[in-house]
Amino acid sequence: MIKDKDTTRSLSRVLENMQKQDEGNSFIDLHSAGECSFSSYLRKIMENSGLEKSEIVRRSGISRNYVYNVLSGSRPNPGRDKILALCIASEMNYRQTQQALEIAGSAPLYPRDPRDVRIAIAINSGMHDVMNVNLLLDEYGLAPLDI
């Protein structure tokens, strides 16, 4: 569960850098209607980007049933690596990924962890296929995302 002060602080950081009104619309949709869950956050990101569930399944490498259960909310607490895989497959940027991890109650990408640094760089460079991210991690002798 996310503490209210952590959520407020995180939301404030996001709001601090927001400049476009359409970003404000998405922000309000995501954060004004009660508690936000990872599944609702992921669904909203997918809706805004126009990505299909089948594409998320393909890119993430996670089983179809697992992804559909996460999206329906029947699997509310996926592991951190699965969250990261879903964020990557959903074309989330670094900020959105950090927000997703926080909403899910998982540790954020940590700048002093070499694996997290490589994942962040992959996200920032536009990698949207977990297989490619895992190949990159392997190149640096780091553990792949456990999907």
Looking at the 3D structure of the chain, how many domains does it have? 1
- The answer to the question of residue 64 being in a domain is yes
Q: Specify if 44 maps to a domain.
A: yes
Domain assignment present for 118: yes
In a domain, 10, yes or no: no
Inside any domain, residue 1: no
- Does 34 have pLDDT greater than 60? no
What pLDDT score was predicted for residue 52? 93
Determine the structural domain holding residue 46 and report its residue range.
Answer: 37-139
What integer pLDDT is reported at residue 35 of this predicted model? 55
Lowest mean pLDDT among 31-35, 48-52, 111-115: 31-35
The reply to whether 113 falls in a domain is: yes
| pTM score, whole prediction | 0.78
Q: What is the pLDDT of residue 32?
A: 54
Band (pLDDT 50/70/90 cuts) for residue 29 is low
Q: What is the 3-state secondary structure (H, E, C) of the chain?
A: CCCHHHHHHHHHHHHHCCCCHHHHHHHHHHHCCCCCCHHHHHHHHHHHHCCCHHHHHHHHCCCHHHHHHHHHCCCCCCCHHHHHHHHHHCCCCHHHHHHHHHHCCCCCCCCCCHHHHHHHHHHHCCCCCHHHHHHHHHHCCCCCCCC
Residue 41 lies in a domain: yes
- Give the CA diameter of the chain: 43
114-124 vs 130-139: helix axis angle to the nearest 10? 140
Residue 68 lies in a domain: yes
